[in-house]
Amino acid sequence: MSKLVTIFGGSGFVGRYIARRMAKEGWRVRVAVRRPNEALFVKPYGTPGQVEPLVCNIRDDASVRAMIHGADAVVNCVGILNRSGKNTFDAVQTEGPGRIARMAAAEGVGQLVQISAIGADAASDSDYARTKAEGEAAVLAAFPSAVILRPSIIFGTEDGFFNRFAAMTRMGPVLPVVGAESRFQPVYVDDVAQAAVKAVLGQAAPGIYELGGPEVDTFRGLMERMLRVIQRRRAIVNVPFFVARIMGSGFDMLQAVTLGLIENKMITRDQVKNLARDNVVSPGAKGFADLGISPTAMEAVLPEYLWRYRPSGQYAAIKDSAKNLKKT
């Protein structure tokens, strides 16, 4: 019988790419998610019955144990950018990974991969960065041979970064950003998935790997690249950090007083803290080179999915061609 991998958060942005690659490797894939009815799109990644979404909540011992039982490998992709109800940073990013690692060790799982993030720091004033680091420590304490992947900002067809800002360009002539001079090293989602698969297959030494793409650029520079791809002109305006903190606090308070009915999808105070710091691979850190992977450049991928934000959408190339005909 083929081997089995359990992917917690396997229908999410990164998880779905890992699930697809593991299915191609011939493994059975158990996609552990809170709402399996919303993850049915993963089933065609393999042959009938090869990829199955199942209900799980990483805050619950019995739920996690059931998903790990019988698995040869486990990958945890679960993470949040904003707390919501019982899904706090501590519950999801510290306690959740620790629970998965302890149960994976108890069940005799061969490989464990934890998806973390560049900037994870137990001493950080950001709850996101702090709990990412605490989650890593909990994983390594229970499962010392685990592989931890720390990607920078991840881009790809379903990303929440370039898609979000490209959509904002439709709203007016100004594109506001927080931390315009902060540096990032965007990494292609399928490259992260490839790294995770190598770890599952035992082709990566235990330890922490920081994953960044071949290019480092400022937030402003990334927005300029995006604008060129979508063929729009917008004024990129840097929102001062003190203003962003006030905005974040206001949106956070609105979410709190409405008991989560109005979720803060704009910007949180915690996100402002992270945007004030560079998000690039640390000098001397293990990375793609140690995994034998050549990271993909942004220019090779962005036009493949950002074209829909162009003023003429899918017809942009046809209109450009028509303009050239008129000139001749």
96-135 pLDDT per residue, tens = 999 999 999 999 999 999 999 999 999 999 999 999 999 9
Question: Would you say residue 323 has pLDDT above 90?
Answer: no
Range of the domain at 90: 4-156+185-215+279-296
| Inside any domain, residue 113 | yes
Classify residue 240: in a domain, yes or no.
no
Q: How far apart (Å, rounded) are the C-alpha atoms in residues 86 and 74?
A: 24
In a domain, 135, yes or no: yes
Which residue type does 250 have? G
In a domain, 243, yes or no: no
What is the arithmetic mean of pLDDT over 131-158?
A: 98
* pLDDT at site 316: 73
Q: Count of CB atoms within 10 A of residue 82's CB?
A: 19
C-alpha distances out from residue 45 to 22, 109, 189, 302, Å: 9, 24, 17, 23
Residue 95 lies in a domain: yes
Q: Which residues pair with 113 in a beta bridge?
A: 75, 147
- Give the residue among 40, 81, 75 at the shortest CA–CA distance from 58: 75
CATH number, domain at 126? 3.40.50.720
Does some domain include residue 237? no
**Residue 122 DSSP one-character state:** T
Encode 246-290 in three state secondary structure: HHHHHHHHHHHHCCCCCCCCCCCHHHHHHHCCCECCCCCCCCHHH
Q: Which residues are paired to 235 by β-bridges? A: 174
Report pLDDT for 313.
82
pLDDT at residue 327, rounded to an integer: 60
pTM: 0.94
**pLDDT of res. 84:** 86
- pLDDT for the residue numbered 319: 72
- Residues pairing with 209 in the sheet: 149
- Report how far residue 115's alpha carbon sits from residue 80's, in angstroms, rounded to the nearest whole number: 12
DSSP 180-206: TT-EE--EEHHHHHHHHHHHHTT-S-S
Going by pLDDT thresholds of 50, 70 and 90, the confidence category of residue 161 is: very high
Would you state the pLDDT for residue 326? 60
- Cβ within 8 Å of residue 248, ≥6 positions away: 264, 267, 268, 269, 270, 271, 272
Q: Which residues contact 251 (CB under 8 A, 6 or more apart)?
A: 264, 266, 267, 268
Residue with tokens 């770890």: 199
For the chain, what is the mean pLDDT?
95
Residue bearing tokens 């439709």: 170
Place of tokens 């790997």: 209
317 inside domain: no
pLDDT score recorded for residue 328: 56
Domains held by the chain: number? 1
Range name among 92-96, 255-259, 274-278 with the lowest pLDDT average? 255-259
The answer to whether position 75 is within a domain reads yes
Instruction: Tell me whether residue 284 is exposed, middle or buried, using C-beta atoms within 10 angstroms of its C-beta: 0 to 12, 13 to 18, 19 or more.
Output: exposed
Average pLDDT over residues 77-101: 95
Residue-wise pLDDT for 36-62, tens only, equals 999 999 999 999 999 999 999 999 999
> Per-residue pLDDT averaged across 184-190, rounded?
98
Between vectors from CA 308 to CA 302 and to CA 313, what angle results, nearest 5°? 125
